[in-house]
Structures are given as structure tokens and as C-alpha cells.
Chain A
Amino acid sequence: MKTQITSMAANLPLVLAVALFAVFAVGLDNFASPQNTYANLQSFALLGLITLGLSMTMLVGEFDLSVGSMVAVAGLITLKVGGDDLVTGALVAMAFAFVVGTLNALVFVWLRLSSLVVTVGTMIALSGFAYWLAGGKIISTDNFDAGAFWDDAILGIFSARSLLTILAFIVMAGILKFTRLGRDMVATGSSTHAARACGVSIGRVHLFAFVLSSLCAGLAGVLLSISLATASATMGSNLLLQAVSAAIIGGVALAGGIGKPSGVFFGVLILTILNNGLSLLGASSAAILLTNGLLLLVVVVIDGKSGALLQIVRSKGLTRQA
């Protein structure tokens, strides 16, 4: 019973993603077509990178609210510094993202402030920096070849951008499963005190999580600006809430200690598939937003119920043993 409930909760994102895909594939002519699958994976690529980074801070029991602003700043740096030489721009943007992630972690660890407070400060500062960089304009480039490199279809449904995102998920899953750092992250999110007592370097874990989150958002911003050949101060402003929703739907607990890259992968796919399918059905943007909210509620309730069931089973088991 206990394992069945655990299994149900763990596999909920996968089951939901497959079910949604199946429903839309049966009900809509074009949904499973290679072209539409490409469109789905392109949407997945953008949201996936941000959600992956954000979910790792959630896994260690913290939160990084600055990811949306980082997308805008990284995009602007890529085009402003790089001009037509987007490789240089991208490298500078990623270096900047590394510095911001490190600063987030250092301020959080040294001053022992809430990560929400620290990263809301970073979010506002980055937003101001983005407006200053943009100077009231939209920054653009005529270098469309770079965008074509990242976005042109590979095998009909993938692109270099979506493959890179999938690779990032696989690498992160490997880190969590096979390295001590990964295990330390889960332990820190479950109980910081217990993890510290077991010799886990909490500071190192937080540093890794915040830097990773910032780098993922930075990379998403770099790729988005290259893809659109444009950057602006408002780019990515809608992504934070979507990423939080995808992470929660993907089974990441807000309290920390629970969550896997595979779950997050399917959490992002669920939102992507749902939005794409509803759009193909001709649903209005209001209806799509409403459905996203309802889905989040349903997943939270199912997750909560299965968690509660698990508690009951555990307590019954303990009573029996006693």
C-alpha cells in the first residue's frame, strides 16, 4: 500500500503528461504531427531550462525569485556586448549569471537572510539594470544565422535548443543520483540541521543551487535573445510564475527535500502540451490561463492527498509494530 501510494505520487507527472498527450493526439488532427511536436519542444526548451534551475533551489528548501529578471539581463548582455559576435556576448552573459548566482548564495549564507528576501532584492536590482542596459529601446541584431543554428529542426521535431535542454535535465538527474553533492542537496532540503549534523557542507550545497539556478536562467536568456534576434528589459517577465507552476506540477515540494529532474521534465511538458493543445482547440488566452491554474490546484490536491494517505499508512504501520 505504502509503496503503491509512493509510486503514484512519484509517477503522477509522467502519467499526466502521457494522458494529456494521448487525449490531444486522439482528439486533434495536427497535435501529434512532427511540426507540432517541434513547436511543443521549442516551448519546452525555454521554460525547461528556467524550471530546472529554479527547482534545484526549491529542492534545497530555498527559492530564487530573480530568474525572470536574469533572463532579460542575460539576453541584453548577449546582444549589447556581442553585437553580431554572439559567442562573446553569450560568454559574458553567462559569466555575469555566475557572479549573480554566487552573490545570491553568499549574501544568503553569510547574512542568514531568507532566500526570498535576498532574491527579491536581486530581482529588482536586475530589473533596473535591464532597463538601464536597454536604455528605453529594444536591442536587436541582424545575425539570424545563430538563431537558425539553435532553432532549425533536427530529425523533424528537435532543435539544438531543445536537445540542449533535454541534455541539461539528463546531466542534472545524473548529478542528483550518482554524486555526493546530489545526495547532499536532497538531505539539505529535507532537514538542514540533520544534514549539517551528518557533515554536509550546507554552504557549498546552497552555493551550487543558486549558481545553477542563475546559470540556467542566464542560458535561457542567451538562447531566447539569439532565437528572437532581439532583447528587451521585459523579456522573460512572465516566466517565473510558469516555472514555479511547472516545478510544483513536476512534484517538487515547496518545503524542499522532494523533487527529481525527471518529474520537473514532465511538469514542464505537461504545461507545454496543455497550452499547445488548448491553443489548437482555439481556446482563448484567458481560458488557457484558467486551465493552468486549475491544473496546478488539482496536482497540489492529489499530491497532498497521496501524502496524507502515506502518513496514515505510515502511522498505522508504526502502531502495528508497536
Chain B
Amino acid sequence: MKPEIPFAQKHLTGLNKVAIFSAWMMATATLSVTTSFSANAAAKDAKVILLTVSEECEYCSRHLQSFRQKAQEEGISLKVKITNFDPAEQASQVDQAIAERPDAIVLWPADASAIVPSLRKIKSAGIPLVVTNSLPDMKYSKFWDVYTGPNDKASGGSAAKAMEQGFNEKGYGEAGDVFLVVGVPGTPPQIGREEGFKQGLAADAPGIQIKGAQPGNWDQTKASEAASALFTQFGTKVKGVYAQADNMMAGVIVAAQRAGIDPSKLVLVGSNCSIEGVTAIESGTQYATVLQSPVQDGEYAAQAVVDLLNGKKPENVRYLPQQIITKANVSECNAAVGR
């Protein structure tokens, strides 16, 4: 006698299950409607989605905090979606964000190139868009309403000026060798800052020669390893180092000390005004940094979305101020490091 086969098992074969689910999906499709998004909702009670990159990096978390605070002050209903610098996941989050029909989207691209198709989708959906922190190629600027954030090329240019200034202050004159410790190769800040630094030196201090560059990948340990190799290669001929972030400069300082070189004798120029840089500048081991405040970065993005929602037309691109910070004006970094 055959055993009794339960209904579900008898009828729900693999193919049937897929077919049932597909039919369910098709039924949902029939509900599809074209939805228009209200582009000019007032900021108060407006629904805004912030798509950001990480909770773990200190800069990202300060950016998020300051954005949240400003949004709260303005009465914005904020939803935050975070991806761990994964462009594929962020593309899915954009699809989801569009489905939620917010009044505006604020987007920190995990990858400034891979985000372009998603920017097109947001534009097609008619949702106001603020891009923050990472500037995609300007040829796609028609896809967003406002960009706020750093100008990496200008930041590199400021670092070159700081290097020139440091050479004069430390008595090295107008010529000498330097090396670079750069961020993750191919990322917009790495490319922009390096380009700005090289152009700045070539224009104003051609005697300062870049002898080498190694990736520190925005990581202190990796930067320390990279700088150790460069100190071994060039030794005491090196008069200065440009590290594209202060946390990487902390690694460079450790590498210099291990190589028997006094870091305070070098012209060490970092970037971002993070706590490592501020502490090292105060103690005299680092010469300068270039201000890029995550607090301002978040505030600028929040202000841009408020302006958009209130019907104002902010400029298409709004860069952060990126002044040179030395021991003389290090207090300018207080807000950036949460003091």
C-alpha cells in the first residue's frame, strides 16, 4: 500500500513552487503605478533617506552624527541606510530608497564611478538628490541637484603649499626630496589629492622633488609599512612626507622613529584634521594638515537638502573650506575632532 502523500508535497514540486511565486510577483506587478514625487515639499516633516558608506570609520560616523543633528533641528524625518563601501549593495539600496518615495535622497557614493547608473535612476524617478563627500565625474552633474563635500584636488594643492611653507620654516630652502603615502589607489580622494599636490609643487616649488609613493590604503598600519620601505630606500635624504590622511601620517611617524629619524625635523603634512593629526601637530612631530571637517561635511549636505526641500536652488557644487593647519592655528580643528 502506498503511503499517503501530503497535499503540499504532492502538488508543490520544485517547478510549481517557482511558478506560484512568480505568479504572486506578477500579481504584484499589476499594482504597478506611475508615481510622481513631490520635489518641493517643505523641509519640516519631509522624508529624507541618507545612503552612507560606513559606521566604522571615524570620519564617516562624525559626518553621520552632524547630518542627523542638523536634520533633527530642521524637523526632517530621516532614514539612514549604510553599506560597507560595497557599490553593488549600495545600488540595491538605491532601488529600495526609490521605492520608498522619499522627498529627497542624500547619497555618499561607495564608489564615485559605480554610482552613476544609480544617479540616473534617481533622476528618472524625479527625486531631489544631494551627493555628499565623493564627487562623481562632473560630466554626470546633470544627474544630481547639489554636490557638497571636499575638493580633493584643492586639498592636494593646499598640502603642496604647506610643504613649501614647512621647507622654508625648517630651513631646507626651496629644494629637497619628499615621498607620498597615498590612500586606496583609484579612489577619488587618492587621485585628486595626488594630482593637486603634484601640480601645486610643480607650479610653486619645483625644487621639491617627489621621489616615491606607496599606498597606505587609509590605514595606519599599512601606512607605517609603506613608509618604512620608503625610509629604507631614501634614508636621511628625505626632508618631507605628504600622507593623504592624518591617521596614515601617524603610521609614518612611527616608521620614522623606527628608522632612527626624528619626525619633528621632517616636514610632515597630513590631511583631514583628525585627532591623530591634531595631537601630533600640538606635540610638534607633525608640521601641518589640511582641514577637512566631517562635521562641516555632514552639515553642508544637510543644509543643501533643507534648501532643496524649501524650494531654494543651491549651487550645483559646494566645496568645504580646506585651509592649512599648523601649530599656530590648530584650534581651528576643534570642531572637526569634537572638542
A residues bordering B, Cβ < 8 Å?
2-4, 6-7, 10-11, 14, 17, 30, 32-39, 41-43, 46, 134, 136-138, 140, 144, 147-148, 151, 153, 155-158, 166, 169-170, 173-174, 177, 224, 227-230, 232, 235-236, 238-239, 260-263, 265-266, 269, 276, 279-280, 282, 284-286
| Residues of chain A with a CB closer than 8 A to B55's CB | 284-286
Q: How far is the CB of B224 from chain A (nearest CB, A)?
A: 20
Q: How far is the CB of A240 from chain B (nearest CB, A)?
A: 13
**B186/A36 in contact, CB under 8 A:** no
Q: Does B284 interact with chain A (Cβ within 8 Å)? A: no
- 10 example contacts (A-B, Cβ-Cβ < 8 A) are as follows A3-B5, A30-B101, A36-B99, A38-B95, A157-B29, A224-B88, A229-B117, A230-B87, A232-B111, A266-B21
**A136/B186 in contact, CB under 8 A:** yes
**B117/A11 in contact, CB under 8 A:** no
**B117/A227 in contact, CB under 8 A:** yes
**A166/B18 in contact, CB under 8 A:** yes
B residues bordering A, Cβ < 8 Å?
3-6, 8-9, 12-15, 17-18, 21-22, 25-26, 28-29, 31-33, 35, 55, 79-84, 86-89, 91-93, 95-96, 98-101, 111, 113-114, 116-117, 120, 185-187, 215
**B6/A3 in contact, CB under 8 A:** yes
Closest chain B residue, CB of each to CB of A289: B84
Known: A236-B88, A238-B89. A262 touches B35 (CB 8 A): no
**B98/A35 in contact, CB under 8 A:** yes
| Residues of chain A with a CB closer than 8 A to B15's CB | 170, 173-174, 177, 262
B33, B87, B95: most-surrounded residue (chain A CB, <10 A): B95
CA A261 – CA B92 in complex, angstroms?
24
Q: How far is the CB of A184 from chain B (nearest CB, A)?
A: 18
CA A32 – CA B24 in complex, angstroms?
11
**B114/A230 in contact, CB under 8 A:** yes
Closest chain B residue, CB of each to CB of A159: B95
Known: A34-B28, A173-B14, A235-B88. A137 touches B100 (CB 8 A): no
CA A262 – CA B29 in complex, angstroms?
22
| Residues of chain A with a CB closer than 8 A to B79's CB | 282
**B91/A227 in contact, CB under 8 A:** yes
**A157/B28 in contact, CB under 8 A:** yes
